[in-house]
Structure 1
Amino acid sequence: MTKIDRYILILFLRTVMVCFLSLAGIFIVFHAFTAFEDLVNQTRSGDSLVWVLVRFYGPYLILLFDMTGAIITLMAFLFTVGWLRRTGELTATLSAGVSHGRIFRPMVIASLVIITGQLLSRELVIPQFRSSLTMKAEDLNGEVEQAVRPTFDRLSGVLIEGARLKTKALTIEKPNFRIDSDYEGFGDMLIAEEAIWVEPEEDNAAWSGLAQGHDSGPPAAGYWLRNVKRPEGIDRIASAGRGNELILLTSADQPWLSPGECFLVTSVHPNILQTQDTATRLASVWELSGRVRNPAVHCSLALQTQVHERIVRAPLDFGLVMLILPMVVNPRGRKLFVMIGSAVGMVLGFFALKTLAGALGGSGTLVTPAMAAWLPLLVVCPLAFVRLRAVQNV
């Protein structure tokens, strides 16, 4: 890396940082005007105000980086080149026989690194803060509660619903499970005080602490229902299932269950029961693809389209940057703001194409969900490559 490479790279990264911090500052200031009193109330637990702000706004800044990283990178590209042209540094470098492609190489590599950072943040970091990103300021030190999205488990024939869902504890308060299959002795309803999601004992290190006094754990993932109220006399009803697989387990023949308890074997995770669409958008590709492959729940065309869109998002974002790159070569001597206006128009066209393709895929019109998600990439990337090669040696 030469001195001019380091100079351009530092100038570019400084512009990216200024743009992001400006957006972050605007977001925090406007939000704090409406939530500052609630945030101050959180300090009564002994935490400092700075720590409360970090806990609350930290996950949101990570999400803001994921949402705006590609656009900020694109605008920083334009502003950096505009600055180099205005100061005459670009003209001086070109007069030495250095091509545009060589001058812009550090920014192209930095753009790729930023988009890769977005990808890692989106798949590894943001899903860990999903509960924090769906809470309000007054809920910072408490449990996040949502309504329960009724979900039918097609394998067990049970409709899972309840009063409230605690997203952190993975618990359903006052579960009201409707049984649509013939399980002898269980009737058509399964009502309890709470239903706790647990993994198999070998996969769940917290089981020993969660179920004190139990010698063993569940044989499969599912909901552990405590204080069962219906059917009455749950301890006298034998476990039932379909074929050779048990679905509803009771203490009548399962010694690891205590009296008044029941266990429903299901693959319907509490994340699927969340009513807020934000929880789905913040899930990782691995989790979303697991929902698509899960035979127990219905998978909509919109969700299938979203999975493919998440897969192609990183290369599509980089393709957008490369699509705008030829504009900064500016052989016609256009002014900076004219160039930015042209770039904004192309970005709007890009997002219009993505939105149209997503709508077609979600409705199943003309194209499949997979084709709808990959169509923008098939259009943008070849065009970006051709335009990049055309100006690389200019």
Structure 2
Amino acid sequence: MTKIDRYILILFLRTVLVCFCSIAGIFVVFHAFTSLDDLVRQGQTEGGLVRVMARYYGPYMLLLFDWTGAIIVLMSLLFTIGWLRRTGELTATLAAGVSHGRILRPMIIASLVIIVVQIVNREGFLPGYRDALAMKPKELEQESQQLMLPCDDRTSGILIEGAAILPRSKRIIQPSFRLEGDYQGFGGLITAATAQWTEATEDHPCGYLVDGTLRPENIESLPSAGTQDRIILYTPYDQAWLQPKQCFVATTINSELLQADQSTSRLVSIPELAARVKNPAVHSSASVQVLLHERLIRPTLDYALILLGLPIVVNRKNRNLFVMIGVAIGTVLFFFGIKTLSGALGGAGYLLSPSMAAWVPLLVLGPIAYVRLRDIQTI
């Protein structure tokens, strides 16, 4: 790496950092303005306002980076080249026989590294903060109940309902398990005070530990029931690890699928999303399948967006910086227009299958991005 490469790379990365900090600062200011009372009240009990805001807005910074990373990189390319052109450094470098492609190489490689960091953030960090991103400032101190979405376990014939759900605790308040299958002696319904989601152990598969059973009243005298190949309803009658008024319902419908607010479902990792699509107990809509394919190709598509902006940066017309920004905004709108339209068609099951709907933007824009990358090598 030459000195000019290091100079351009530092200038580019500094611009990326300034752009991200500017967007993050605007977001925090406007968001905190409507929740300042709750944050101040929480700060009085937890060591100060700064500490509380860092704990609350830290996950939002990761989410903001995931949302805006590619666009920030594209804008930083424009600002960096615009600055080099304004100071005359670009003209001097070109006069020395260095091509545009060689000048842009450090920034193109750095852009690829940023896309990789986005992948690590999206798959490694964000899934662990999805509950925190669904919280409101007043919920930092005490977890609040949320509405629950009924869900049918198609493999065991059980409809899971409840009055409310505690997302972080993974607990259902006043659960109701409607038994559509043949479970002799249970009367077609199990109601209780709470139901706690529990991962699989040596004693049982994953499912809900039901506590304070109200119906059936004679739960201790009923033997465990299920299908020929597996037990679904565990009772204290023949399961020593269960206490009186307890039972266990084996299911793969976890607490996240029961939340009425499904906005955090887009923050799960690719393996979790694939497991949800392959789960035979859950009906996976076409939109969820589109989301899975979009997550698989998103790094390539984000990089294609950056490459689409190269002709805006490298041109012989010496465009004004604000004109280039306007053209870049148009390119971004065109990019997301195609992506949104194909995703909507695939999610609705109209004209495009879920997999094709996710791949159409890349099939359309990928070759264009590659041609533009090759073109700047000759300018």
Same-fold call, TM cutoff 0.5: yes
1:47 is aligned to 47
1:211 is aligned to none
State the AA in 1 paired with 2:57.
Y
Q: Determine the C-alpha separation between the residues in 2 that align with 1:303 and 1:79.
A: 37
Q: Determine the C-alpha separation between the residues in 2 that align with 1:191 and 1:42.
A: 36
Verify: 1:272 aligned to 2:257, yes or no. Answer: yes
Verify: 1:166 aligned to 2:166, yes or no. Answer: yes
Q: Determine the C-alpha separation between the residues in 1 that align with 2:28 and 2:272.
A: 30
1:169-224: CA deviations, max 9, x gaps?
1111110111111100011211011111111225xxxxxxxxxxxxxxx3211100
1:304-360: CA deviations, max 9, x gaps?
001111111111000110111122111122222112211111111110000110011
Q: Determine the C-alpha separation between the residues in 2 that align with 1:65 and 1:148.
A: 30
Q: Determine the C-alpha separation between the residues in 1 that align with 2:219 and 2:293.
A: 45
State the AA in 2 paired with 1:263.
F
Greater shift in the superposed pair: 166-175 or 330-339: 330-339
Matches for 1:91-102 after TM superposition, within 5 Å: 91-102=91-102
1:177 is aligned to 177
CA contact (8 A) 2:294 2:359 kept: yes
CA contact (8 A) 1:240 1:246 kept: yes
1:210 is aligned to none
Q: Determine the C-alpha separation between the residues in 1 that align with 2:5 and 2:305.
A: 23
2:147 is aligned to 147
Verify: 1:242 aligned to 2:242, yes or no. Answer: no
Verify: 1:222 aligned to 2:207, yes or no. Answer: yes
Q: C-alpha displacement at 1:52, in angstroms?
A: 0.5
1:357 is aligned to 342
Q: Secondary structure at the match of 1:145?
A: coil
Q: Determine the C-alpha separation between the residues in 1 that align with 2:322 and 2:262.
A: 37
Q: Determine the C-alpha separation between the residues in 1 that align with 2:82 and 2:228.
A: 70
1:77-119: CA deviations, max 9, x gaps?
0010001011110111011111111100111111111111111
1:247-291: CA deviations, max 9, x gaps?
101011111111111101101111111111221111111111111
2:319 is aligned to 334
1:132-153: CA deviations, max 9, x gaps?
1001111112225321110000
Greater shift in the superposed pair: 160-169 or 70-79: 160-169
Q: Determine the C-alpha separation between the residues in 1 that align with 2:79 and 2:134.
A: 35
1:135 is aligned to 135
Show structure 2 runs of 5+ residues with no match: none
Q: C-alpha displacement at 1:244, in angstroms?
A: 2.5
Q: C-alpha displacement at 1:56, in angstroms?
A: 0.6
State the AA in 2 paired with 1:364.
G
Show structure 1 runs of 5+ residues with no match: 203-217
CA contact (8 A) 1:131 1:144 kept: no
1:17-75: CA deviations, max 9, x gaps?
11111111111111121111100111232422111010011111111111111101100
Q: Determine the C-alpha separation between the residues in 2 that align with 1:115 and 1:240.
A: 50
Verify: 1:388 aligned to 2:366, yes or no. Answer: no
2:328 is aligned to 343
Q: Determine the C-alpha separation between the residues in 2 that align with 1:326 and 1:43.
A: 49
Alignment identity in percent?
Answer: 55
Q: Determine the C-alpha separation between the residues in 2 that align with 1:308 and 1:176.
A: 35
Q: Determine the C-alpha separation between the residues in 2 that align with 1:161 and 1:387.
A: 54
Q: Determine the C-alpha separation between the residues in 2 that align with 1:150 and 1:48.
A: 40
Cα RMSD, aligned residues only: 1.1
CA contact (8 A) 1:144 1:168 kept: no
2:11 is aligned to 11
Residue number among 351, 357, 367 corresponding to 2:352 in the alignment: 367
Verify: 1:31 aligned to 2:31, yes or no. Answer: yes
Verify: 1:281 aligned to 2:266, yes or no. Answer: yes
Q: Determine the C-alpha separation between the residues in 2 that align with 1:355 and 1:388.
A: 25
Q: Which runs of 4+ in 1 moved over 3 A?
A: none
Q: Secondary structure at the match of 1:7?
A: helix
Verify: 1:302 aligned to 2:287, yes or no. Answer: yes
Q: Determine the C-alpha separation between the residues in 2 that align with 1:121 and 1:141.
A: 26
Q: Determine the C-alpha separation between the residues in 1 that align with 2:346 and 2:331.
A: 23
Verify: 1:258 aligned to 2:246, yes or no. Answer: no
Q: Determine the C-alpha separation between the residues in 2 that align with 1:222 and 1:178.
A: 15
CA contact (8 A) 2:46 2:52 kept: no
Q: Determine the C-alpha separation between the residues in 2 that align with 1:132 and 1:283.
A: 13
Residue number among 292, 298, 316 corresponding to 1:313 in the alignment: 298
1:206 is aligned to none
Q: Determine the C-alpha separation between the residues in 1 that align with 2:11 and 2:128.
A: 33
Q: C-alpha displacement at 1:15, in angstroms?
A: 0.7
State the AA in 2 paired with 1:85.
R
